[in-house]
């Protein structure tokens, strides 16, 4: 792939990502907040307020505080809708 083709491809990807985000927000979506560091009850409160369902999965990382969210799917900043389900990964043995 030459430089010109790579630049065009990069611009197309950026435009796709921007349009995908704008369409998601325009159709009633919201930007996924950063839930990392929150406890389950705080995440449940956010879920009730936003109307976006959440499921919990449990994993263990020794270097992280136990009982807190260490990551989510989708990541913070992604567009989520009320039809989506957020997965919050909680640090727990």
The CATH number of the domain holding residue 49 is 3.30.10.20
Q: How far apart are CA 5 and CA 31, in angstroms?
A: 32
Predicted TM-score (pTM) of this structure? 0.73
When divided into structural domains, the chain yields a total of 1
Domain carrying residue 32 = 3-91
pLDDT in tens, the chain (93 residues): 787 888 878 777 777 777 766 666 566 778 899 999 999 999 999 999 999 999 999 999 999 999 999 999 999 999 898 889 999 999 998
CA dist 34 and 76 (Å) reads 5
């Amino acid at each position: 792939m030459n430089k010109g083709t790579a630049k065009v491809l990069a611009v197309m990807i950026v435009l796709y990502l921007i349009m995908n985000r704008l369409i998601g927000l325009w159709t009633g979506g919201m930007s996924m907040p950063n839930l990392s560091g929150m406890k389950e009850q705080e995440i449940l409160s956010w879920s009730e307020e936003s109307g976006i369902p959440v499921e919990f999965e449990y994993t263990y990382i020794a270097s992280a505080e136990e009982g807190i969210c260490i990551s989510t799917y989708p990541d913070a900043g992604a567009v989520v809708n009320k039809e989506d389900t957020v997965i919050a990964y909680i640090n727990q043995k």
